[in-house]
A = this chain, B = another copy of it.
Amino acid sequence: MLRTLAFDADDTLWHNETHYAEAQGAFRDLLRAYHDDAWIDARLHDTEMRNLRRYGYGIKGFTLSMIETALELTDHRLDGAGLRKVLAVGQAMLDKPVEPLPGVVEVLEALQAEFTLMVVTKGDLFDQEAKLAKSGLASQFERIEILSEKDEAAYAALLRRHRLAPGEFTMVGNSVKSDILPVLAVGARAIHIPYHLTWAHEVVAPPPDSAFPVLASIRELPALLAAW
């Protein structure tokens, strides 16, 4: 029955949030003469949230939000050299190599014979395709779905598009908000593999009546699937 096994990408197949945390560290360093860290973080988060409707997810929008925040927080006094550094922080994020998380390569290889493997990720199309190519994992997946949002409607449309019944689809990912709750809501199964960092925007408290398996590592996935 579980024909299709879909994986989130960022922080499920490879590191992502650590790169944002690093970038945010560099951003704080640049503005420390003007404000304390907590204030810088809070203002940046506000700018990101305000711009989400315009920019969507991804590094380019994050970079634009860093520039906007830097101008705001310095009353437009941050000089061109400082802004050049903010641009460079964003470009360095885009240029990072993409290394699969421990266990990912072996587990995908082991599961390939039994399941149709799919990537279901949200974010910037160009960034996500580039990361998939750089990861070396693209050929492991039969389908790649890059969505602008991962909510209940998006999963329902995905199942229709691939002519899958909810019982034929299982999602694996690190975000309770994007990978677990909306998948359970459409009647499919979901498996949570937490990452050690979660973007504030993705943090939700699961409703008390929700139940889903939580694994410490992707390495535990084959045994769980075998038990089902």
Contacts and interface: CB of A to CB of B under 8 A. Distances in A.
Interface of A: 54-58, 60-61, 63-64, 67-68, 71, 74-81, 83-84, 87, 90-91, 94-95, 124-127, 129, 146-148
Contacts of A61: 60
16 contacts: A54-B91, A56-B124, A56-B125, A56-B126, A57-B126, A58-B60, A63-B64, A67-B87, A74-B80, A76-B80, A76-B81, A76-B84, A83-B83, A124-B125, A125-B146, A125-B148
B71 A84 contact: yes
A171 to B, nearest CB: 20
Nearest to A61: B60
A202 B68 CA distance: 31
Contacts of A148: 125-126, 129
A211 B77 CA distance: 57
Given A56-B126, A146-B125, A148-B129, A80 B77 contact: yes
A79 B169 CA distance: 53
Contacts of A90: 64
A57 to B, nearest CB: 7
B71 A83 contact: yes
A90 B95 CA distance: 23
A156 to B, nearest CB: 16
Contacts of A80: 71, 74-78
